[in-house]
A and B are shown apart, each in its own frame.
Chain A
Amino acid sequence: MSRPVAITGIGPVTAFGLGIEPLWEALEANETGIKPLEAYDGTQWNCPFGGELPKDAFAIRKLVPKHYRKATKVMCRDIELAVGGALFAVKDAGLTTAGTGEGEPTIAPDRVGCHIGAGLICPDVNELGEAFVVSCDDDMTFSLGHWGREGMQHLTPLWLLKYLPNMLACHVTIVHDCQGPSNTITCWESSAPLSMAESMRVIQRGAADACLTGGVESRLNVLATLRQQYAGRIVNASVGDDPATLVRPFAEDAGGTVLGEGGGILVIEALENARERGATIKAMISGIACTQSITDNILTEASADSIADAITLALGQASLSAHDIDAVVPMGLGIPGIDRAELEALRISLGERGPTLPRVLLTPATGNCCAGHGAVQLAVATRAIELQRLPGRDTTLNHVLILTASQGGQNTATILSQESGS
């Protein structure tokens, strides 16, 4: 692969809080961050649980530079989490940017790109509700005539900008003054690896030397959850159920997934630049390949053949063989049709050893972070390589395979390697 690319910073954002440490500790202790929902009262819903960030874990106004606090008023939850994750990742990489404080930027702003996966952001139902209500006649019949005259005036002028998916990257580029190529990939759970693939291409074609990359999403709101419920992806659960056992990836009795929120941002850099500035090389990106599943049910199934194609292509990019892979971080949503496809793809591409490789399962701990899920997977794989450890035990990890198979059928296979093994 031309111009090798390294991961030098990780900033996951999950139900356990900001940064890799609380997430890793929870994985070591086999704890779950899934708990009764606080974002809204879900007690009368099919699943009253979610992988939600603790309220006290995150105050975006305290995180951003002082001059940027005003802008937090036009940040929806997804934007807040992306900005928080980016600040952590940049600091983890040891970079100085416009967002980290005083001093010259470590990398020239026009040489830093930004690719952040995002989802279809739902507007705040209560914010809209107030505007709806003032648009109703006395008998509470809604009138578009009233909406056009008075109702819409109840929305802040910048209302739309809170909910455009590319506003995650927009705020991050402003905070850190990233003037290189910037994009927003919207392919559900594959958004973050696809973003990383694009960041890597950008670096390899010489359009940037480093990129902030990843994905973030929060679907813990009524409309987004309803859409997932209609899609048949959410597990049925009741108040009082044990949240630790709700998501059961690859189990025969798996019944669906639970929504989480978060994801993360990673810093990736051209290896030669990272070495030159003395950065810690946490992992190398040896290969990222993507394919499309063709299936009539893109909500709860995936094509094992197409996922296997992605794995085979990624191995080819990395000049590796099936036996070189030491562990897998699958998506493991607990949706039987997708879990089966992931497992079968491992068998097709890696042989009988594939399904027996050690697997790190994140969804039971974090919930499905949707457009951010792949970023959590990438961050955990990076940490595992850095520590030469899987949750619960030390091991040798030269190459770790990360899989995603999104709602909509976009598949990715990423191989991260330790520097000496790449």
Chain B
Amino acid sequence: MSGRRVVITGSGWITPMGHDLDSVWKRLVAGDTMVGPIDRFDAATFPTSFANQVRDYDWTKYVESAARHGQPGMHTAFALGAARQAWNASGLGDMDGLDRRRCGLYLGSGEGALDFDSYQKSTTASWQKDLAKINEGSWHAAAAEYIDGAYEVAQEPNEPITHIAREFGLRGPAFNCLTACAASTQAIGEACDILRRGDADVMISGGTHTMLHVLGITGFNRLTALSTRSEDPEHASRPFSRSRGGFVMGEGSGVIVLESLEHAEARGATILAEVTGYGSSADAYRITDLHPDGRGPAAAMHAAMREAGIDPKRCDAQGRPEVQYISAHGTGTQENDAIETKSVKLVFGDNAPKIPMTSIKSMMGHLICAAGAVELITCLLIMREGIIPPTINLTDPDPDLDLDYVPNVARAATVDTCLSNSFGFGGQNDTLVVQRPRP
């Protein structure tokens, strides 16, 4: 690793399992889940009628002036809550003389949600059956009646960084990336690179997303990527099990505060962890499939550990691998879990079965763009608390998947180094290495 060292000094999340670190952590350790029927819209006839929704969330509690944020999209609302928690935890708001031109943002935010009802009404009202297309003039007139312009404008994927910058007065480098399920892991990795180069002292990073809307569920249903276990939703997310049948949709946001080590030390900040490695690759294979050899995920893991100075096949004198926990991408699709397992074996060799590897998506559902950030925050809590949350619903293990997935029950463990994987639809693979703060 070259350049400045990068540490994490704050974290926060808004998730389907709660809106603060401690309550969600307790549920993760207990192997709890809150997956249930979708009630945001009537999904009763959809192939998938359940998800893990964020409930009872009021974003206005997390901002100084709700009026300054207008009518934010749900992705922005989630991000404001997570960012406020992370910002407050970092103590940056109490720092005298913080140079906000040296404070930037890098989120992996998805888009907001199209107002399906209004869009549908405008479209059907202007539909020309004989031509099988809309009349654009009629559509425009109908849209003027049905569509809320302010709502639509707020759905852009870069809206969350804009609002977070406004809330905290941040004027440094600002990016948003959208690489599907890999987005927030990639955002954090690239934010670290910006800090290492010295282009900023502080970066607010992470991700936010909801695809829990009519077209989101429709799209993933058509891809057959979602579990359809509607009769038993609590047990639908089944990573690494033989009966896994797709992922469960979640939503939310995870945000962390990243700083250069010298900036954090100079202000006496509490350092939660150090980000020591980041690797990124593209599968460049097919639009729907991972390369069967697992070459893309393996390349990302290798690159991250190379940067961290870790030899994945080495053990210490006590026989402990240098990485003690892997946060799996672990979606619960047949393909992902098999190829992720294969690539971990490829990278870690004989050490692979010795390293606990879990998927919190079994409890949390899949937060898509936000998933990687929420999973990285879980890594911080694992190092702090010495407990690894389980992969739940792993009651019928796949005989071909033979790593240590910590099935169903949490486990006490001393973890100093974690590796967190995220792989996006479209072939982007990203891996982060975080370690307990070291002198």
Q: Which A residues lie at the B interface, using CB under 8 A? A: 40-45, 71, 74, 109-110, 113-114, 118, 120, 123, 125-126, 128-130, 132-133, 136, 140, 142, 144-149, 152, 155-161, 164-167, 169-171, 173-174, 176-188, 194, 198, 201, 204-205, 207, 222-223, 226-227, 229-231, 289-294, 296, 298-299, 306, 309, 406-410
CB distance from A376 to the nearest CB of B (A): 19
Q: Is the CB of B426 within 8 A of A187?
A: no
Does B224 contact A184, Cβ atoms closer than 8 Å? no
- A299 vs B153: C-alpha distance when bound (angstroms): 9
A71–B172 Cα distance when bound, in Å, is: 40
- B44 pairs with A148, CB closer than 8 A: yes
Q: 17 extra interchain contacts, Cβ-Cβ under 8 A, other than A158-B222, A410-B158?
A: A129-B127, A145-B45, A148-B43, A160-B223, A161-B287, A164-B178, A165-B111, A173-B427, A174-B286, A179-B282, A194-B175, A198-B190, A222-B143, A223-B119, A291-B172, A293-B171, A299-B153
Query: Counting CB contacts under 8 A, is B134 at the interface?
Result: yes
Contact present for B136 and A148 (CB under 8 Å) = no
Q: Are B158 and A164 in contact (CB under 8 A)?
A: no
Q: Which of B101, B120, B179, B426 has the most CB of A within 10 A?
A: B426
A181 to chain B: closest residue by CB: B280
From B45, B149, B166, B172, contact of A227 by CB (8 A): B149
Interchain CA distance A173-B152 in the complex, whole Å: 31
Question: Could you pull out 29 A-B pairs where Cβ atoms are within 8 angstroms?
Answer: A41-B137, A43-B137, A110-B299, A142-B124, A144-B45, A145-B42, A148-B44, A155-B222, A158-B288, A160-B218, A160-B220, A164-B425, A166-B178, A169-B428, A176-B284, A182-B179, A182-B281, A185-B178, A186-B176, A186-B177, A198-B175, A205-B193, A223-B119, A227-B149, A229-B149, A289-B173, A292-B104, A306-B171, A408-B158
B180 within 8 A of A: yes
A294 touches B287 (CB 8 A): no
Tell me if B101 and A291 are in contact (CB < 8 A): yes
A contact residues around B287 at 8 Å (CB): 71, 74, 158, 161, 167, 170-171, 174
In the assembled complex, the CB of B82 is this many whole angstroms from the nearest CB of chain A, namely 18
Residue of B41, B152, B194 near A144 (CB, 8 A) is B41
Shortest Cβ gap from B280 to chain A (Å): 4
Contact B155 A231 (CB under 8 A): no
Bound form: Cα–Cα A169–B143 in Å: 32
What chain A residues lie within 8 Å of B190 (beta carbons)? 183, 198, 201
Complex contact B68–A296 (CB within 8 A): yes
Evaluate contact between A161 and B111: CB separation under 8 angstroms. no
Residue of B47, B104, B152, B169 with most partner-chain A CB within 10 A: B152
Query: In the assembled complex, how far is the CB of residue A168 from the closest CB belonging to chain B, in whole angstroms?
Result: 9
Residues of B within 8 A of A161 (CB): 223, 287-288, 425-426
Q: Which of B149, B176, B194, B303 contacts A187 (CB 8 A)?
A: B176
CA distance A164 to B177 in the complex (A): 12
Q: Is the interface of B mostly helix, strand, loop or mixed?
A: mixed
On whether the beta carbons of B214 and A165 are closer than 8 Å, the reply is no
Once the chains are docked, how many angstroms separate the CA of A45 from the CA of B427? 39
Known: A44-B136, A157-B222, A408-B162. A182 touches B428 (CB 8 A): yes
Task: Tell me, in angstroms, the Cα distance from A22 to B127 when the chains sit together.
Answer: 38
Q: Are A222 and B139 in contact (CB under 8 A)?
A: yes
Check if A185 sits within 8 Å of B175, measured CB to CB: yes
Q: How far is the CB of A285 from chain B (nearest CB, A)?
A: 14
Q: Give the 8 A-B residue pairs with the shortest CB-CB distance, closest first.
A: A230-B149, A160-B219, A148-B45, A44-B137, A170-B426, A181-B280, A182-B282, A292-B174
Contacts of A169 in B (CB 8 A): 179, 282, 426, 428
| Interface of B toward A, CB cutoff 8 Å | 2-3, 41-47, 68, 101, 104-105, 109, 111, 114, 119-121, 123-124, 127, 129, 132-137, 139-141, 143, 147, 149-150, 152-153, 155-159, 161-162, 165-166, 169-180, 186, 190, 193-194, 196-197, 199, 214-215, 218-224, 280-288, 295-296, 299, 303, 424-428
A131 to B414, CA, bound (A): 54
Complex contact A157–B224 (CB within 8 A): yes
Complex: A145 Cα to B45 Cα, angstroms = 5
| A166 CA to B288 CA, complexed, in Å | 13
CA distance A126 to B46 in the complex (A): 22
C-alpha spacing A39/B309, complex, angstroms: 53
CB-based contact B147/A226 at 8 Å? yes
Q: Nearest residue in B to A151 (C-beta to C-beta)?
A: B218
* Known interface pairs A42-B136, A44-B137, A205-B193; A165-B178 also in contact (CB < 8 Å): yes
Query: Which residues of chain B have C-beta atoms less than 8 A from A110's C-beta?
Result: 281, 299
How far is the CB of A78 from the nearest CB of chain B, in Å?
A: 13
Contacts A110-B281, A136-B124 given; does A166 touch B222 at CB 8 Å: no
- CB neighbours of A123 from chain B (8 A): 215
A204 to B166, CA, bound (A): 31
- Contacting A181 at CB < 8 Å: which of B129, B281, B426? B281
In the bound assembly, the distance between CA atoms of A292 and B219 in angstroms comes to 33
Given contacts A125-B123, A136-B124, A186-B157, whether A44 and B174 have CB atoms under 8 Å apart is no
A residues in contact with B303, CB < 8 Å? 207
Min distance, Cβ A99 to any Cβ of chain B, angstroms: 11
With a CB–CB cut-off of 8 A, which chain B residues contact A309? 101, 171
A184 to B424, CA, bound (A): 11
Residues in A with CB closer than 8 Å to B223 are 157-158, 160-161
B186 to chain A: which residues have CB within 8 Å? 183
Q: Known: A125-B134, A205-B2, A291-B172. Is A120-B219 also a contact (CB below 8 A)?
A: no
When distances are taken between beta carbons in the complex, the residues of chain A under 8 Å from B158 are 186-188, 406-408, 410
> How long is the Cα–Cα vector from A155 to B218 in the complex, in angstroms?
9
Q: Is the CB of A222 within 8 A of B281?
A: no
A128 partner residues in chain B, CB cutoff 8 A: 119, 123
A129, B123: Cα distance in complex, Å = 6
Nearest B residue (CB) for A229: B149
A409: which B residues are within 8 A, CB to CB? 162, 165, 174
CA of A340 to CA of B223, assembled, Å: 47
How far is it, in angstroms, between the C-alpha of A158 and the C-alpha of B127 when the chains are bound? 24
**A306 CA to B127 CA, complexed, in Å:** 46
Give complex CA distance A233, B207 in Å: 28
Other-chain residue from A145, A159, A227 in contact with B152 (beta carbon distance below 8 A): A227
Residues of B contacting A155 with CB < 8 Å?
218, 222
A155 → chain B, closest Cβ, in Å? 6
What is the CB-to-nearest-CB distance from A235 to chain B, in angstroms, rounded to a whole number? 16
Q: How far apart are B285's CB and chain A's nearest CB, in angstroms?
A: 7
Which of A41, A42, A166 gathers most chain B CB within 10 Å?
Answer: A166
Instruction: Report whether A292 and B161 are in contact in the complex, using a CB–CB cutoff of 8 Å.
Output: yes
Chain A CB count within 10 A is highest, among B121, B180, B284, for B284
What are the residues of chain A within 8 A of B425 when measuring CB–CB? Answer: 161, 164, 166
Q: Which B residues are CB-close (under 8 A) to A160?
A: 218-220, 222-223
Shortest CB distance B196–A (Å):
8
Verify A201–B159 contact, CB threshold 8 A.
no
Interface centre among A144, A170, A177, A179 (most CB of B within 10 A): A170
Closest CB in chain A relative to B8 CB, distance in Å: 20
- By the criterion CB–CB under 8 Å, are B177 and A185 in contact? yes
Verify A180–B281 contact, CB threshold 8 A: yes
